[in-house]
Amino acid sequence: MFIAMNRFKVKKGMEETFEQVWSSRESYLDRMTGFVEFQLLKGPEADDHTLYASHTVWRSQDNFEAWTRSPEFRDAHARAGNKTPTASLYLEHPKFEGFEVRLTETNGKATAA
């Protein structure tokens, strides 16, 4: 399993707009081989921003990388660049983090990757 996350510092007062952008988007993720699930996470608030993270789970890193090279990825991210209206929602460019799952615990049972 592979988890891909992007962290967003959303400007104070723009949280509702940010969440609306995500909830109204066409993601195309359901078309992709190896896609498991997506979550939009809302984190702590700071003086000038609220932290959010997009979180996708993939069966493998190869599946995730295939997504990033796909036409669906380009279509899904067409509004995400710094020159689009959504760029005004952020304090800085989103930060990507990718993780290979090494241990999973479900219902009290741990399994190694």
Domain CATH code at residue 84: 3.30.70.100
Chain-centroid distance, C-alpha 97 = 9
Into how many domains does the chain fold?
Answer: 1
The pLDDT tens digits of the residues spanning 21-34 come to 899 888 899 999 99
Rounded to an integer, what distance in angstroms lies between the CA atom of residue 42 and that of residue 7? 10
Tokens of 88: 């005004």
Asked if 34 and 63 touch (Cβ cutoff 8 Å), the reply is: yes
Mean pLDDT of the chain: 90
Length of the chain: 113
- pLDDT (tens digit, 9 = 90+) per residue, 67-90? 999 999 988 877 665 445 566 898
| Strand spans (E) along 46-108 | 49-58, 95-100, 103-106
Please tell me the predicted confidence (pLDDT) of residue 80: 60
* Residue 71 domain boundaries: 2-112
